[in-house]
Amino acid sequence: MSDTEDTEATPEAQTEETAATESSAPAATATAEVPKAPATDEEKHANLDFLLDVPVRLTAELGNCQMTMHELLELDLGSVVQLDKPANASVDVYVNQKLVARGEVVVAEDNFGIRIKEIVAKPTS
């Protein structure tokens, strides 16, 4: 055997060496998270559907006034309490104590109702 034979490897030996190296090395796998496509309007709506059955308190405020305890105790049947708003003023409509609209008082099927005249815009940041 010559010196060149010892240093030269046959193609089969090189293949075996490569296979041994590959099998003993830990397998490295790259996992890339695939970005999700933006949700459509329908998907966004479906995600919020569970909120549609949450009860809220709607309150209409005709006006208010301030009086002393003595004046309050003097109220009797037929007493008139004067409010701070004129008769033609809009009624404030609150949802869960937050002002959301203004309107006018109407009679709807023997009950009072509110005809919405203005939606109060959200404050801009």
Q: Express each pLDDT in 54-79 by its tens digit.
A: 999 999 999 999 999 999 999 999 99
For 6, the token pair is 């010892």
* Sequence spans of domains, the chain: 54-119
- Give alpha helix (H) positions in the chain: 3-7, 11-24, 41-48, 69-73
- Nearest-angstrom CA–CA distance, 43 and 41: 5
Radius of gyration of the chain (CA): 39
* Confidence (pTM): 0.55
The better pLDDT of the pair 41, 52 is held by 52
Across the chain, mean pLDDT equals 77
CATH node for 54-119: 2.30.330.10
pLDDT at residue number 44:
67
**Which of 97, 87, 80, 79 has its CA nearest to residue 62?**
87
- Nearest-angstrom CA–CA distance, 72 and 89: 25
- Nearest-angstrom CA–CA distance, 94 and 64: 14
Give the pLDDT band (50/70/90) at residue 47: confident
The better pLDDT of the pair 2, 86 is held by 86
Q: Express each pLDDT in 73-124 by its tens digit.
A: 999 999 999 999 998 899 999 999 999 999 999 998 899 999 999 999 776 6
Phi, psi of 111 (to 5 degrees): -125, 155
Phi, psi of 88 (to 5 degrees): -95, 5
pLDDT at residue number 112:
92
pLDDT at residue number 108:
86
